[in-house]
Amino acid sequence: MILDGKKLQEKKLLILREKVLKLEKKLTLCVIQVGNDSASCVYVNQKKKMADFVGFNFKYIKLDEDITTSELLSIIEQENNDDEVSGIIVQMPLAKHIDAQLVQNKIKYYKDVDGLSDINVGRLVHNKKCLVSCTPRGILELLEEYNINLSDKHVVIVGRSNLVGKPLASLLLNKDATVTVCHSKTKNLADITSLADILIVAVGKKHFIDASMIKDNAIVIDVGINRENNKLYGDVDFDSVKQKASYITPVPGGVGPMTVVEIGYNLLLAYNLRSEVDE
């Protein structure tokens, strides 16, 4: 069965729009982009479309690629102090000369819509209320929509990035899953992936996982987005793996749409967190 992220996105956006209409103030999402990376431009546009549909204000700050880390931090501080701004995203990746960790931690934790600051990551590990990285959050929402229980599952994650693999492992542990994380130094990878009840792949390599690397009736979540000749491919060889898996996400149309909608839900949560901080 296909895990349809596009269909769930449409459903969740309608629910979110109803929630936003009931708020006393209009929330503002601030997106800061450095440079003109083509993929980043696409992602910024997706965020704007989501914001327009739901009813958020969208504040877009476009900066030259040669901006310094200190200059960028100063701009973030201005947005931190702007009471009209409910959440802030600094679009990744940043130019190599910019310290991305400093930038992520400059955003106040209750405005950190990407959930990448040390405070939010630490709160996630301790299973406290926080803003969670949107892709892992979207994956859990997708599994929940299809009534896939996690508490008795062995989940194997391939990829340990700060954006997906690490926060996803914490989320799954908080849901009582048994979690194995694999990465570039893992030996005998296929021996491990073939044990997974749920296999989640986020490595950025086209068709990295094929049918020989999964067990019968496994659930396969493909986080990869690989562009080749103007076409998108996942990290999973979809055509071969779908014959063996019980559930599988397509690329595009699987995890990607969920990432976008979770930004909106994180903005709403950011607003509520801010209210708690002000109390």
Q: Respond yes or no: is residue 114 known to be catalytic.
A: yes
Q: Respond yes or no: is residue 47 known to be catalytic.
A: yes
Strand order in the sheet with 87-90: 57-63, 28-34, 87-90
Contact 217, 245 (CB under 8 A): yes
Domain layout of the chain by residue ranges: 24-108, 134-255
The CATH number that domain 24-108 falls under is 3.40.50.10860
Burial class of residue 175, CB neighbours in 10 A (0-12, 13-18, 19+): middle
The residue annotated as part of the active site, out of 4, 12, 33, 47, is 47
Contact 200, 206 (CB under 8 A): no
The residue annotated as part of the active site, out of 91, 106, 166, 237, is 91
| Whether the domain at 24-108 and the domain at 134-255 fall into the same CATH topology | yes
pLDDT digit string, tens, across residues 191-205: 999 999 999 999 999
Q: What residue ranges of the chain have pLDDT lower than 70?
A: 277-279
Q: Respond yes or no: is residue 91 known to be catalytic.
A: yes
Sorted by sequence, the CB contacts under 8 Å of residue 200 that are 6+ apart come out as 139, 155, 156, 157, 158, 159, 168, 221, 223
For the whole model, what pTM was predicted?
Answer: 0.94
Strand spans (E) along 174-249: 178-182, 198-201, 219-222, 226-228, 231-233, 247-248
The residue annotated as part of the active site, out of 4, 112, 114, 222, is 114
CATH 3.40.50.2300 fits 134-255, yes or no: no
What local confidence, expressed as pLDDT, does residue 278 receive?
53
Task: Look up residue 96 and give its two tokens.
Answer: 């190599």
Contact 18, 155 (CB under 8 A): no
What local confidence, expressed as pLDDT, does residue 275 receive?
72
